Amino acid sequence: MADWWREFDDGRVRTLTKYQQLLTFAGKPKLDTGAEPYQSAQALIDLRNAIVHYRPETIWSDEVHRLTRRLQGRFVSNALLHPSTDLRWPNGLLGAGCARWSHESAQRLTDRVLDTVGVTANYRALGV
């Protein structure tokens, strides 16, 4: 895997592709891209990319933003807004519920892959 990493410009490959390749190199089955935890991890990456690489866009009031559709039902809306507020992008999405879901989604993916290859994560070994 280290050779592969060097070959691909120090690992500049999509995050989930790296996880899939790790499983391949370990001789283990790849993650099911249509199931959890892959789906939540992909949604998390989509959310991260929308924030970090923000591009202005027009969102009409009668239109549901793609991230609202993608993340609907995964966590509670921003508690700082009125309770009737749905998960509208960005204010209804970005809050404590989203932060908790983000952390848990990333950890579930990591735990699944590490368990599959038989590696103990530092945070588990240290009891964190």
pLDDT at 7 over 80: no
- Whole-Å CA distances, 68 to 12, 35, 47, 76: 28, 19, 10, 12
Contact 69, 46 (CB under 8 A): no
Q: How far is it, in rounded angstroms, from Cα 119 to Cα 10?
A: 22
Of 79 and 42, the structure prediction assigns the larger pLDDT to 42
Q: How confident is the model at residue 89 (pLDDT cuts 50, 70, 90)?
A: confident
Q: How confident is the model at residue 84 (pLDDT cuts 50, 70, 90)?
A: low
pLDDT in tens, 101-128: 999 999 999 999 999 999 999 988 887 6
The predicted structure's pLDDT at residue 22: 92
Give the number of other CB atoms < 10 A from CB of residue 71.
Answer: 22
- How is residue 87 written in tokens? 């998960």
Q: How far is it, in rounded angstroms, from Cα 41 to Cα 110?
A: 10
Q: How far is it, in rounded angstroms, from Cα 28 to Cα 118?
A: 10
Q: What is the CA radius of gyration of the chain?
A: 17
- Closest C-alpha among 71, 35, 36, 33 to residue 51: 71
